[in-house]
Structure 1
């Protein structure tokens, strides 16, 4: 029987900003700016839906290897928009969480992340998990290190409780745009039984209507979690 309810936790690999810019003969940074607007549109849309959790692959551990100019532009976007979006988060009742390793982030970004998390902690409409300097393998290693540092038995439950955001449920579905069909180190632990939805649209052109079509695809699938 197909699933008819909405997923509890959706993850999105927001791919295609660079290709969008290249197709228009624009700098890659322009693609990221346009992608940010698409992100805001989708977040607002999800906040008005029954979906309580959304995780966005904002900046991966592998993204540091990109050209310095592009990395700088991405970090600047993050730095200038974290606190600037507070009125938006308050308007839509969005709680902000961060997943990832903060050690390579600037002191200002870390400060802003902490402040935004604190100032939105009371919101309950949507929990938005921003993956910044995040890698799935890296998260699992860091979780294991936390378990061992506390001299606990290393098992599935103890590791889960020491992930970056242990309060989040596992992913029900993962959407990836731009036609690529791989996880790219995205929430490897949490996506163990996620439904994968691949979409050809480049992220800056991804719309709430296409998100709804992805949700229809999810609702028409039969989930067994290995039981059949």
Structure 2
């Protein structure tokens, strides 16, 4: 039996020789940003629903940076929503100076959607769970501010696109189009370009959607 190498790489993960066994060469990332509310929420989701994805991020020391990026971009999107809501509701600094009590009441009453609509959005989000496996897409429940969609995570820049949805129909339309385009692309990719029969591609799509 030949001498074992001191270091090997498999599936993008570095391993070092420890005795007769290889163990992951884990290095603490130079990341000190907090992962915040959305990061913790998504971390728990990955643990429960996508353990393989969670383990891969953990072993490659990308988990904390990924969660920190996700949290920062979700919070930025919420800041934008909050400012838009304040404009719509007439919650201005002038109002705050003139009548602070009315300003507080309006701030507390800001709502984009009822709990019923929130429940619809959650059902839509759950229905497209397979999409999050095919593409680097995350949909987060931002409470009364809507659902935040983050798409196409590419370190070190974070997510390339983000959007916010405040009703179930708009969220469904966006996720359905994303699912349709992705599924169509992956199906066509398996076929020879010269032999594509588009009816066959469409027939391969799930009837449920």
TM-score after normalising by structure 1? 0.20
Rg comparison, structure with higher value: 2
> Which structure is higher in RCO with an 8 Å CA cutoff and minimum separation 6?
1
